[in-house]
């Protein structure tokens, strides 16, 4: 067992973990933060997307031990975030979710786009979201929601 | 899909890393960004006795630029290269290639050294670095050695690394200001691994001309190189012949795919 | 009428929890002392199993077939002519019949440790030749999978009659063979089960990611041999179903048996590799079509042969015969056809047991029929959409009885096609197509497909099958509570289609109150009336009708109370906007409820003792089916070098009757279309001759991503069904039906100048190049027009 010390959603967490424990399992099973979902365990579907040291990462192919000293944010850490709230409003308005399983990953990825790449050409949204699979929505509402969020940000500046 | 158990070590120096690797006699795996290794651990396709995390070796995260060469630390992420502000043609190529790797979340963590050491023939860096005629710095218990990438890549997922060695730096030339280059990656679906890669560099200031075909079932190959080895008129037919000669295992429609990828790379660099 | 009634795009009540990461999927549940389960799965496709080799120190934590001797086998049976019943052992007993079949269950404190244990368990076996081809499986000398099936045929079906005169005299005859590859369904959440014994209520409680909790309860009862009221099944949030979770799976029985035996909570969560291998179980059909027509391409007769590659076992409840029965019945499509004969065989192979994936056999049937129409059009040298249009059942003929006895209830199929045509500029596309042919750019193709589908499978349609999937009248419980708010309880399960919102809208429509005051409970057998569940695009029709019925009856009861309280005659009150109105007085539902609960002495003595809670019921009086229909158009480009297909434009013109929530309807169609695009372009699991699946991760099994699909242009019409409450038809599946047909018709349109034709999905680059190769073109020749 390896001792790790990290920050999760702004809180300091100390834990003793097996080297093979993935970050997503650590978050879900040990921290009871079940908003991050497991979809493939080989880094393709994006359902497990979190933010690691401020950038998006796939928690299913990240080892918890490798996160010692790091900063992790999950979907649960954005309750008071106005950009995330704006995204949520758009997702609901544009019917960008159905079963909800891929939704936290979609939000974490699109949040990063909006905040780190505010000047991105919205025509790039489909390509940028290709690492988050959805089986329910056909992506139509997801793309429109993110387009709207970009437009709203541009109108406000 | 959970991994088989393994030990975890996080060395603080290059020397310590080589000693740990030597101790495990080839049964340890180096963990850089984990984007290639951890899926294999999850699938139990890789079952090392230990995983050696080199992410805290700060010296591996630097990019050093001098007039005579560019040295990229093995732990430099694809995203860092994608957003690098360094001027010059070499970085133009690096930015372009990096930006097309997988998905953003993978680029945020995946490293150029990890990708090269993993030696998946479909990986973008292999073809790009071969076209650039890069050399690798490799550290072992006995010290450091340099190896051209063509010799480093032995076979699919197989490199020339000894049990106690790992890649520390990738060394690239500084291309001339007027160098021309092109990179084309063919895949069926956005973000997935390439099925054919074409890459070329033409740098008259250094008399370098190389055309590479990659994403074969074995490491990428140089189709044409040097001043004299390049036909005056490159077209799909002589590219197909070149692919067949350099990579005889390629069969059927794939010969055309590889030739077409190279031709599109040449077109994008306005060289054909 | 409330602003949140039928026809309003009410924002979904479900959204909040999913957007905040506060959903509860089965993997989110934790219970004290819970154990994780990992399965030992067969590494071979066909073998005689001998003994299990388990270390003594491991034995107590490994469970094999012999440890669960009284459990199952799963037997799917009914009174289906031509069907032979076989056993589906819950864990393989004497034989392993597909790669991925469960051999043993291993328990551990974590999934990782359970997998470590599973790696230490071995089985001795004698490998047998595998049966991997559904045609070869029926030939003499093929290895047999079940002793009851000497020629590996689960089910034979023959419908219609031969039409010798037409066969002899028809001027045009076109024959084609079409294939759909085996797919996996790939919901983003895999299946999962958490089972525990609840001592407080003396029940086995099974949480399952299922679409059909009441059916699972019935199955657990039958196959665990436990009284039904000793069992409770709960489907929490379910992350996508698409049919995958609408049948019984062995894992549900095994986990139930383990929980009962161990008296500890046990959990199994399907991982992606398990799903792509052991769950590669749908869509694999072959259609041999011979169509007879006149010189204009009008259909005179259709002779068809259908082969369903059913894998190794017949699934519960509706049997493996379901695909063929449905395909045979709908193959004539939305066309006027009087002469039809079909022979269908459902064949056993050493692959996972086939089950129905979104739209069941309709994508396959539509693929076969629509490609045949296009082939017929090419034969008579007319535009495909014209031949299609002239053959479609005209609106004047509605309701139209098809040659297979299906009653198409309402619809203007030709208008659907006309709207689709109007959405694209075909003349401009044809001009561009010619230019591209000449100048060496990517080839352009346009393809159409029209279908009609029976939504909401009904009693009379399946009664003759007598399987355990027997939808009768659907019930829904509606209660008006003390504050005038409404609770709806339904035995179906909503897993993305938004029924917590749309069913509330039905109640909102009838009762005239806001959906914010209406709560829908679903998915729990202890809390809800029996239902066969969510499948076959049935819920809005059936549960919508039942909720409507319950609300009607509640209004009737409240009318009597209101009349008494307002001192009017019941027939003099008008019910409107959530209240009973007289000329100078009114009473709201809330006020009436207050009396019921807090001042019952004020109610009339002879008031119905049932109070404000009613179980309503519904089945359409004419339950021959509500037929939704659609036309899709695909415009695509084919790269000349790589033969990759890029969808440039995708149009769907859809009619699902009256829409309850148009936004949700859009989502169902979009989602279905993109799954259809997956079927058309990307998804397949291939098998080698030894029956080994060739895809096990998303590196091999490609599903459409955001960058792979175009903006879908959706046009909707609303033609009410004359048979259903509110005129509703189903829409959950339809989007997935037409894309393979529209897309491959477009591919063939692009390849027409070369004389090449593709007849299989997924239409991968390899299949396009193969088709070109058959007529003498290699990629270089096609690409080399001008470079």
Cβ contact, residue pair B5, A131, below 8 Å: no
- Rounded Cα distance between A27 and A41, Å, is 14
Which among A20, A43, A56 has CB closest to B104? A56
Q: φ, ψ for residue C757 (rounded to 5)?
A: -145, 135
pLDDT in tens, C560-618: 999 999 999 999 999 999 999 999 999 999 999 999 999 999 999 999 999 999 999 99
ipTM of the complex: 0.98
* Cβ separation B104–A127 shorter than 8 A: no
Distance CA B111, CA B75 (A): 5
The per-residue pLDDT for range C261-288, each reduced to its tens digit, is: 999 999 999 999 999 999 999 999 999 9
Asked, as a colleague might, if the bond just before B184 is cis with ω within 30 of 0, I would say no
A60–chain B nearest CA distance, Å: 8
Asked whether the beta carbons of residue A131 and residue B8 sit closer than 8 angstroms, the reply is: no
Take residue A144 and report the two structure tokens written for it.
């429109």
Mean pLDDT for the stretch of residues C24-43: 98
Q: Which of A43, A46, A95 to mutate to test the interface with C (most CBs of C within 10 A)?
A: A95
DSSP single-letter state for residue C464: G
CB contacts under 8 A, A 94-133 vs C, are 95, 97-104, 107, 125-127, 129-133
Residue C258: strand, helix, or coil = helix
Q: What is the pTM assigned to this prediction?
A: 0.98
C763: pLDDT strictly greater than 60 = yes
pLDDT value, residue C214? 98
Q: What is the pLDDT of residues C659-682, one digit of tens each?
A: 999 999 999 999 999 999 999 999
- Nearest neighbour of B106 by CB, restricted to A20, A25, A58: A58
Contact B5/C at CB under 8 A: yes
C580 beta partners: C575, C587
Radius of gyration, CA atoms only, chain B: 18
Give the residue, C287 or B271, on which the prediction is more confident: C287
Residues 244-263 of B with CB under 8 A from C: 253, 256-257, 260, 263
Contact status, residue C66 vs residue C94, Cβ threshold 8 Å: no
CA B22 to chain centre: 25
- B271, pLDDT greater than 70: no
Token digits for C234? 């709960």
> For residue A22, is pLDDT > 70?
yes
State the average pLDDT over residues C123-140. Answer: 97
Q: Which domains does chain A have, with CATH numbers?
A: 2-76 (3.10.20.30), 80-156 (1.10.150.120)
Residue pair C513/C506 in contact (Cβ under 8 Å)? The answer is no
A56 touches A116 (CB < 8 A): no
C18 with A131: Cβ contact below 8 A: no
Distance (Å, whole) CA C366 – CA C742: 9
Which is higher by pLDDT, C106 or B229? C106
pLDDT for position C782 = 72
pLDDT at residue C786 in the model: 37
Residue C610's SS3 state is coil
In total, chain A counts a number of residues equal to: 157
Q: Which residues of A touch C240 (CB under 8 A)?
A: 98-99, 101, 135-136
| DSSP letters spanning C525-543 | TTTS-----S-TT-HHHHH
Alpha-carbon span B150 to B152, nearest angstrom: 6
User: Domains along chain B?
Assistant: 7-53 (3.30.43.10), 58-172 (3.30.465.10), 180-271 (3.30.390.50)
* Percent of residues, chain C, with pLDDT higher than 70: 99
Over the stretch C705-731, which tens digit does the pLDDT of each residue have? 999 999 999 999 999 999 999 999 999
d(CA A129, CA A136): 15
B:89-108 residues touching chain A, CB 8 A cutoff: 102-106, 108
pLDDT (tens digit, 9 = 90+) per residue, B99-145?
999 999 999 999 999 999 999 999 999 999 999 999 999 999 999 99
A45 and chain C: CB distance < 8 Å anywhere?
yes
Cα gap B74→B134, rounded to integer Å: 13
Q: What is the pLDDT of residue C613?
A: 98
- Distance CA(C386)–CA(C411), nearest Å, equals 19
Which residues in chain C (257-316) have CB-CB distances under 8 A to chain A? 269, 271-272
Q: Which chains touch A (3 or more CB pairs under 8 A)?
A: B, C
Q: Both tokens of residue C408? A: 């198409």
- Rounded to whole angstroms, the Cα distance separating C448 from C765 reads 21
Is the Cβ pair C112, A20 closer than 8 Å? yes
- C32–A contact, CB cutoff 8 A: no
Model confidence at B232, pLDDT cuts 50, 70, 90, reads confident
* Contact assessment for residue B175 and residue B206, using Cβ atoms and an 8 Å cutoff: yes
Task: Judge: B5–A128 Cβ closer than 8 Å, yes or no.
Answer: no
The answer to whether C705 contacts chain B (CB < 8 Å) is yes
Tell me: pLDDT of A50 over 90: yes
pLDDT at B204 (0 to 100): 87
Residues making up chain C, counted from first to last: 787
In tens, the pLDDT along A71-100 reads 999 999 999 999 999 999 999 999 999 999
d(CA A117, CA A149): 12
CB atoms A135 and C271 under 8 Å: no
Determine contact: C25 vs chain A, CB below 8 A: yes
Query: C226 and chain B: CB distance < 8 Å anywhere?
Result: no
pLDDT in tens, C438-478: 999 999 999 999 999 999 888 998 999 999 999 999 999 99
Contact B109 A2 (CB under 8 A): no
- Cα Rg, chain C, nearest whole Å: 28
Instruction: Tell me the pLDDT tens digit for each residue of B20-55.
Output: 999 999 999 999 999 999 999 999 999 999 999 999
Report yes or no: B191 at the A interface, CB cutoff 8 Å: yes
Give me the torsion for CA of C324, C369, C724, C550, rounded to 10°: 50
Tell me which chain A residues have a C-beta less than 8 angstroms from the C-beta of B191: 127, 130-131
Neighbours of chain C (3+ CB pairs under 8 A): A, B
* Residue in C189, C272, C706 nearest the CB of A41: C272
Q: Which helix (H) or strand (E) holds B80?
A: helix B78-82
With tokens 């396959």, the residue in question is C364
Cα atoms found within 13 Å of the Cα of residue A60, Cβ hemisphere only: 23
* Cβ contact, residue pair C28, A28, below 8 Å: yes
The CA dihedral of C415, C420, C422, C424, to the nearest 10 degrees, is -170
A5 interfacial to chain C (CB closer than 8 Å): no
β-bridge partners, C675? none
Tell me the chain A residues in contact with residue B75 when contact means C-beta distances shorter than 8 Å.
none
Rounded to a whole number, what is the distance in Å from the CA of C365 to chain B's nearest CA?
27
């Amino acid at each position: 067992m390896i001792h790790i010390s990290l920050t999760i959603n702004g809180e300091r967490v100390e834990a003793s973990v097996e080297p093979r424990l993935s970050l997503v399992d650590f978050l879900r099973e040990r921290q009871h933060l079940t908003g991050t979902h497991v979809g493939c365990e080989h880094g393709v579907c994006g359902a497990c997307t979190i933010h690691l040291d401020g950038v998006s990462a796939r928690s299913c192919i990240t080892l918890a031990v490798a996160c010692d000293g790091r900063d992790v944010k999950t979907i649960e850490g954005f309750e008071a975030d106005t950009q995330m709230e704006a995204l949520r409003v758009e997702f609901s308005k544009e019917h960008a979710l159905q079963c909800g399983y891929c939704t936290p990953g979609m939000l974490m990825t699109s949040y990063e786009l909006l905040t780190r790449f505010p000047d991105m050409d919205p025509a790039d949204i489909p390509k940028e979201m290709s690492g988050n699979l959805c089986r329910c929505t056909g992506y139509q509402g997801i793309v429109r929601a993110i387009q709207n969020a970009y437009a709203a940000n541009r109108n406000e500046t | 899909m959970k991994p088989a158990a393994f030990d975890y070590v996080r060395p603080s120096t290059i020397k310590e890393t080589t000693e740990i690797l030597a101790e495990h006699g080839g049964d340890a795996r180096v963990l850089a960004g984990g984007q290639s290794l951890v899926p294999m651990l999850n699938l139990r396709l890789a079952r090392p006795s230990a995983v050696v995390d080199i992410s805290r070796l700060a010296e591996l995260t630097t990019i050093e630029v001098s007039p005579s060469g560019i040295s990229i630390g093995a732990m430099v992420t694809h995203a860092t290269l994608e957003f690098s502000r360094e001027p010059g043609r070499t970085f133009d190529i690096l930015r372009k290639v990096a930006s097309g790797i997988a998905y953003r979340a993978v680029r945020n963590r995946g490293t150029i050294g990890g990708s090269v050491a993993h030696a998946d023939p479909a990986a973008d860096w292999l073809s790009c670095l071969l076209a650039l005629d890069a050399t690798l710095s490799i550290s072992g218990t006995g010290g450091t050695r340099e190896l051209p990438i063509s010799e480093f890549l032995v076979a699919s997922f197989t490199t020339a690394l000894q049990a106690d060695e790992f890649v520390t730096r990738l060394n690239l030339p500084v291309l001339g200001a007027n160098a021309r280059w092109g990179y084309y990656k063919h895949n069926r679906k956005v973000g997935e691994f390439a099925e054919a890669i074409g890459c070329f560099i033409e740098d008259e200031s250094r008399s370098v001309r190389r055309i590479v075909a990659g994403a074969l079932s074995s490491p990428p190959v140089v189709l044409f190189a040097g001043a004299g080895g390049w036909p005056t008129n490159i077209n799909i037919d002589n590219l197909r012949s070149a692919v067949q000669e350099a990579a005889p295992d390629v069969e059927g429609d794939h010969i055309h795919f590889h030739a077409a990828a190279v031709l599109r790379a040449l077109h994008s660099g306005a060289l054909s | 009428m409330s602003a949140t009634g039928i026809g309003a795009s009410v924002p979904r009540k479900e959204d909040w929890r999913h957007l905040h990461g506060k959903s509860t999927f089965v993997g989110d549940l934790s219970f004290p002392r819970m154990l994780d389960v990992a399965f030992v799965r067969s590494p071979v496709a066909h073998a005689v199993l001998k003994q299990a080799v388990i270390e003594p120190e491991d034995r107590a934590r490994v469970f094999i077939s012999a440890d669960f001797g009284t459990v199952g086998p799963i037997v799917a049976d009914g009174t289906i002519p031509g069907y032979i019943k076989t056993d589906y052992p819950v864990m393989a007993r004497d034989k392993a019949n597909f790669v991925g079949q469960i051999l043993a269950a291993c328990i551990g404190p974590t999934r990782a440790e359970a997998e470590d244990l599973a790696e230490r368990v071995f089985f001795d076996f004698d490998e047998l030749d595998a049966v991997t081809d559904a045609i070869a499986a029926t030939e003499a000398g093929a290895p047999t999978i079940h002793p009851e099936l000497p020629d590996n045929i689960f089910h034979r079906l023959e419908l219609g009659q031969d039409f010798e005169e037409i066969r002899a005299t028809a001027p045009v005859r076109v024959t084609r063979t079409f294939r759909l590859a085996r797919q996996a369904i790939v919901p983003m959440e895999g299946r999962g089960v958490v089972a525990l014994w609840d001592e407080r209520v003396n029940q086995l409680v099974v949480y399952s990611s299922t679409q059909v909790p009441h059916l699972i309860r019935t199955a657990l009862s039958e196959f665990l041999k436990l009284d039904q009221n000793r069992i409770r099944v709960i489907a929490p949030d379910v992350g996508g179903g698409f049919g995958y979770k609408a049948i019984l799976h062995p894992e549900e029985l095994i986990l139930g048996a383990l929980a009962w035996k161990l008296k500890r909570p046990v959990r199994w969560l399907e991982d992606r590799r398990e799903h792509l291998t052991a769950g590669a179980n749908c869509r694999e059909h072959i259609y041999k079509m011979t169509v007879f027509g006149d010189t204009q391409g009008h259909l005179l007769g259709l002779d068809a042969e259908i082969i369903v590659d059913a894998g190794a076992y017949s699934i519960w409840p509706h049997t493996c015969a379901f695909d063929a029965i449905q395909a045979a019945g709908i193959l004539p499509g939305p066309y006027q056809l009087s002469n039809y004969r079909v022979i269908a065989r459902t064949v056993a192979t050493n692959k996972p047991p086939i089950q129905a994936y979104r739209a069941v056999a309709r994508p396959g049937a539509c693929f076969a029929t629509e490609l045949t129409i296009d082939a017929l059009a090419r034969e008579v040298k007319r535009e495909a959409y014209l031949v299609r249009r002239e053959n479609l059942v005209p609106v004047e003929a509605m309701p139209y009885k098809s040659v297979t006895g299906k009653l198409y209830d309402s619809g203007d199929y030709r208008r659907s096609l006309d709207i689709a045509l109007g959405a694209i500029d075909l003349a401009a596309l044809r001009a561009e197509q010619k230019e591209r042919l000449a100048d060496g750019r990517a080839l352009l193709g346009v393809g159409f497909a029209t279908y009609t589908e029976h939504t909401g499978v009904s009693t009379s349609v399946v009664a003759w099958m007598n399987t355990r999937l027997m939808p009768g009248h659907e019930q829904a419980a509606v209660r008006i509570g003390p504050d005038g708010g409404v609770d709806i309880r339904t035995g179906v399960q909503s897993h993305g289609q938004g029924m917590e919102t749309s069913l509330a809208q039905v109640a909102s429509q009838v009762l005239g109150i806001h959906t914010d005051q209406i709560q829908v409970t679903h998915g729990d057998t202890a809390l809800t009336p029996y239902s066969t569940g969510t499948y076959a695009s049935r819920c809005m029709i059936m549960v919508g009708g039942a909720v409507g019925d319950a609300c009607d009856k509640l209004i009737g009861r409240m009318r009597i109370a209101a009349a008494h309280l307002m001192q009017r005659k019941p027939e003099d009150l008008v019910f409107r906007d959530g209240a009973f109105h007289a000329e100078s007085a009114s009473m709201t539902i809330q006020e009436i409820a207050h009396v019921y609960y807090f001042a019952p002495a004020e109610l009339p003595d002879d008031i119905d003792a049932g109070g404000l809670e009613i179980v309503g019921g519904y089945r359409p009086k004419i339950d021959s089916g509500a037929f939704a229909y659609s036309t899709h158009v695909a415009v695509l480009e084919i790269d000349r070098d790589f033969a990759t297909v890029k969808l440039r434009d995708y149009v769907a013109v859809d009619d699902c009757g009256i829409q309850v929530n148009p936004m949700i309807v859009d989502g169902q169609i979009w989602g279905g279309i993109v799954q259809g695009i997956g079927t058309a372009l990307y998804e397949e699991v291939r098998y080698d001759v030894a029956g080994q699946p060739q895809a096990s991760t998303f590196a091999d099994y490609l599903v459409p991503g955001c960058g792979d699909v175009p903006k879908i242009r959706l046009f909707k019409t609303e033609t009410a069904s004359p048979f259903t409450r509110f005129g509703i038809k189903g829409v959950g599946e339809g989007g997935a039906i037409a894309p393979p047909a529209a897309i491959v018709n477009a591919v063939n349109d692009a390849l027409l100048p070369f004389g090449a034709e593709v007849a299989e999905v997924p239409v991968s680059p390899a299949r396009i190049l193969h088709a070109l190769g058959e007529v003498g073109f290699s990629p270089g020749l096609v690409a080399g027009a001008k470079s």
